[in-house]
Structure 1
Amino acid sequence: MTRPAAPALPADLAAWLDAHAESLDTDAADAADVVPRLGRAGLFRVGVAPELGGAGGTTVDAIEAIAAVARHSLASAFVFWGQRTFIEYLLQSTNAGLRARWLPALLAGEHAGATGLSNAMKFLSAIEPLQMRAAPLDAAQTRFALDGALPWITNLRREGFVVAAAFDRHDGAPPAIFALPHDAPGVARSDDLDLIALRGSNTAALTLDGAELDAGWLIDADARAFLVRARPAFLGLQCGMSIGLARRALEAVEESSPAVRAALADDAAALRHELDALTARLYAGVTSGAFVAAPAAQFELRIGLAAVVDAAAHLDVQAAGGRGYLRSHASRATPNDTARRSREAAFVPIVTPSLVQLKSQLAQQRRSEAA
């Protein structure tokens, strides 16, 4: 399919992202500003129907919007992914009341939404058990006690958040997915995790100790069925981070001296062709819905895009040469963008589901097919 035109970010947002990309990667000083700024630019509305307060378009348009932000700052794109993925859960939920209560503030960037379903996605692929538990408090199952912990969630904005999480049920019912508000009694956010990069992404752990919520907070009562439907968007939106970072690294090679460009031209052209091909396949599968029944095809694309990001970041380093390895070359006024992009690229393989997890799933599938 033809790639949609990459959205042009508002000039003031692009300038802010460029000016703060280094600090967003290395500390949390500007973390509170990301969601409101992306919201004011209308980015969370991309791919959401106008009748729901969105700007129209498709999930592919939302992926391109995340890619556009990732060109400037992967930390901001990571936050964008978390917010937009939670919005996607509300769009796919049958709980119209929950959607009506939360969607306006999330689209406007007035409140943070986080996807705590990484554990659930690994559960769906039989990688690990669910780490959260829900126990009904009445026979009608209108109220639940929630317990458990998730060690890593992004966009847990200190100013307020709502997060999706999957809960095992010990009463014979299927696992369920709840939306958890930050101010519910028994919900506790840790300090920010001590990350080596993307430190402005409001990434922390979440603990629940007897938190009580009613059924109005249910995103879906059948986690497995919901996750199968939601996984293509979860992974597709995530791939926007890789697409944008790879594009920017290759652009940096193009911005180098004529001699450097000539030396790296063949490698850069091959990577650009591979990136475009993988992106087109991703967009075709997301648009057609093919990844619902064939998740392995999307796993392979995620792995392929990560490989392109890694190779593009290495070309970026080669193009910068020794200048990009000098600490003295970087300052707050003129940060070393090559070094930052290398740190950002190192994160791509480990974001859940990690490449190791995806490769394990593909190997297991091949063994099953061979048997």
Structure 2
Amino acid sequence: MLDPVLSHWLETEAEALDLGHSDPQTVLSQLAAANVLRVGVDPALGGSGGSVVDAIESVASVASHSLASAFVFWGQRAFIEYVLQSPNKGLGERLLPDLLSGQLAGATGLSNAMKFLSGVEALQVQARAEANGWSLNGRLHWVTNLRKSGFVVAATIDREEGGTPFVLAIPDALAGLTRSADLQLMGLQSSNTAAIDLQAVQVAEEWLLHDNAKVFLPAVRPAFLGLQCAMAIGLARRSLNEAQAHLQGPRAGLLELLEEQRAALESHVTALKAGLLDGRFLTQPAALFKIRIALAEATASAVQFELQASGGKAYLSAYGSAFARRWRESAFVPIVTPSLVQLRAELQRQSQASAQ
């Protein structure tokens, strides 16, 4: 259950956040004020307790009002998860207080890395080893939550000299790091989404998240994708609830179909939570990929069902602006990295490999 103040703010600002008419600086502050960033974090570390499953429900609740805000929330909470799972406890001690309070934005620049893990894409940042650290060069093309007042971004780094890639947290104030203007998106505009260029950026060893990306990335992937799935869950639930409000009179016969869609959606949510809690996705990533695909498809079906239940009213700007926003939001769900095309390709590759 979201804080009522946050729920009201999200509902009021959702359209402006999507179109970029609301200050993106305020999103993280609103989330922090409602303490949702602390969900799923040990109280000893400044959190409010629970597990990543509880964090998923929080992200889903935000997504039911505003996917742009949930996108920011996902980036922040995913970065917090990287810090929690990093063996560099000193880094966590330095960063967690400001991450949990929303004073510092955490950007999950690991989308390229997740594609690298599946053999889809080469790493985009290279490092040359230097005394007590590295010199970085490269570009991260699409990163969310690059708050202009201060951010730290996670990136997987290829070694110029060869060897196993590693994962760094890169603070924004370093010389040679340049943030682009916000990308011009179809929606989700107030999400501080931009690109980062790195030119001879000097990063000290104290910013190391893990020295072996091939160990760290599979370990954090369940939380990365699980929190990402939460965006689809929240949007689908909201569309089905909106559809139910329209199913009266001659449309009441569609209630059975609505309940079928709702039951299917929640069965996928249950499977997602069970896999995260029992750890099976660490050794069975394909099971997680299938759930991510199923949730994306369930979201598309839910938004389509909302349109059908609403009828022509959804196409009138005076009534349908919120629906039009959810339609744009649903278009993002299949393409956020890893996209459904990439996931299906990976599942096909695994299937062919097991058949050989």
TM-score under structure 2 normalisation?
0.98
**Mapped contact 1:320–1:338 kept (Cα < 8 A):** no
C-alpha distance in structure 2 between counterparts of 1:284 and 1:271, whole Å: 20
**Mapped contact 1:28–1:201 kept (Cα < 8 A):** no
**Structure 1 segment 179-218 matched on structure 2, within 5 A:** 179-218=169-208
SS at 1:9's partner residue? coil
**Structure 1 segment 82-231 matched on structure 2, within 5 A:** 82-138=75-131, 142-231=132-221
Deviation at residue 268 of structure 1 after TM alignment: 1.1
**Mapped contact 2:154–2:169 kept (Cα < 8 A):** yes
C-alpha distance in structure 1 between counterparts of 2:148 and 2:36, whole Å: 21
Specify the code of the residue in structure 2 equivalent to 1:227: L
The reply on whether 1:312 has 2:302 as its aligned counterpart is yes
C-alpha distance in structure 2 between counterparts of 1:307 and 1:74, whole Å: 17
Specify the code of the residue in structure 2 equivalent to 1:349: P
**Mapped contact 2:247–2:255 kept (Cα < 8 A):** no
Deviation at residue 350 of structure 1 after TM alignment: 0.2
SS at 2:127's partner residue? strand
In the other structure, the counterpart of 2:343 is: 358
**Mapped contact 1:166–1:177 kept (Cα < 8 A):** yes
Specify the code of the residue in structure 2 equivalent to 1:76: S
C-alpha distance in structure 2 between counterparts of 1:163 and 1:207, whole Å: 12
The one of 23, 38, 41 aligned to 1:30: 23
In the other structure, the counterpart of 1:368 is: 353
Deviation at residue 262 of structure 1 after TM alignment: 1.2
The reply on whether 1:246 has 2:231 as its aligned counterpart is no
SS at 1:19's partner residue? helix
C-alpha distance in structure 1 between counterparts of 2:235 and 2:22, whole Å: 23
Specify the code of the residue in structure 2 equivalent to 1:270: E
**Residues 199-218 of structure 1: per-residue CA shift (max 9 Å, x gap):** 01111011100000110010
**Mapped contact 2:247–2:254 kept (Cα < 8 A):** no
The reply on whether 1:236 has 2:260 as its aligned counterpart is no
**Mapped contact 2:13–2:22 kept (Cα < 8 A):** no
**Mapped contact 1:278–1:305 kept (Cα < 8 A):** yes
Deviation at residue 368 of structure 1 after TM alignment: 1.1
Specify the code of the residue in structure 1 equivalent to 2:220: A
The reply on whether 1:289 has 2:279 as its aligned counterpart is yes
Specify the code of the residue in structure 1 equivalent to 2:307: V
Number of equivalences: 356
Specify the code of the residue in structure 2 equivalent to 1:10: D
**Mapped contact 2:169–2:208 kept (Cα < 8 A):** yes
C-alpha distance in structure 1 between counterparts of 2:67 and 2:143, whole Å: 16
**Residues 253-275 of structure 1: per-residue CA shift (max 9 Å, x gap):** 11115126514213211111111
**Mapped contact 1:254–1:261 kept (Cα < 8 A):** no
**Mapped contact 1:114–1:156 kept (Cα < 8 A):** yes
SS at 1:151's partner residue? strand
Specify the code of the residue in structure 1 equivalent to 2:286: A
C-alpha distance in structure 1 between counterparts of 2:24 and 2:144, whole Å: 11
**Residues 76-131 of structure 1: per-residue CA shift (max 9 Å, x gap):** 00100000000000000011111111100110111110100000000000001101
The reply on whether 1:52 has 2:45 as its aligned counterpart is yes
C-alpha distance in structure 1 between counterparts of 2:23 and 2:16, whole Å: 7
C-alpha distance in structure 2 between counterparts of 1:240 and 1:252, whole Å: 18
**Mapped contact 2:168–2:208 kept (Cα < 8 A):** yes
SS at 2:191's partner residue? coil
The reply on whether 1:15 has 2:8 as its aligned counterpart is yes
The one of 315, 319, 327 aligned to 1:342: 327
- Give me the CA root mean square deviation: 1.1
Specify the code of the residue in structure 2 equivalent to 1:343: R
TM-score under structure 1 normalisation?
0.94
C-alpha distance in structure 2 between counterparts of 1:24 and 1:316, whole Å: 22
Deviation at residue 137 of structure 1 after TM alignment: 1.4
**Residues 32-62 of structure 1: per-residue CA shift (max 9 Å, x gap):** 1000110111101000001000000000000
SS at 1:352's partner residue? coil
Deviation at residue 28 of structure 1 after TM alignment: 4.8
C-alpha distance in structure 2 between counterparts of 1:261 and 1:46, whole Å: 39
